[in-house]
Amino acid sequence: MTGRTSNPHLAVWVAATGLSHGEIARLVAAEANVQGHRQIAPDASRIRRWIDGERPPPTGPRSADRSTLRRDWPAAQ
């Protein structure tokens, strides 16, 4: 893990949604597919690795952002 830094923003975002890493992965994959990026297909362990500092493909974060805009999330408590 040399050279990696964690991604606290992604960790906070995942916590705020209240979804599991698997659910986040499915949302990211579905949105990437809508955008024509069929090669983006993360799983729960990939989401954890992104939080731990692995760099996602450039379209991954945009897919995650867009998938959140399509849902009504419960207010963070």
60-69, long-range: CB within 8 Å, 24+ apart, which pairs? 60/28, 60/32, 62/35, 63/28, 63/29, 63/31, 63/32, 63/35, 63/37, 64/10, 64/13, 64/24, 64/27, 64/28, 64/31, 66/31, 66/35, 67/27, 67/28, 67/30, 67/31, 68/13, 68/17, 68/27
Q: Which tens digits make up the pLDDT trace of 30-40?
A: 888 888 888 88
Q: Please report the pLDDT score of residue 75 as a whole number.
A: 47
pTM attached to this predicted model? 0.68
Domain positions in the chain are 8-69
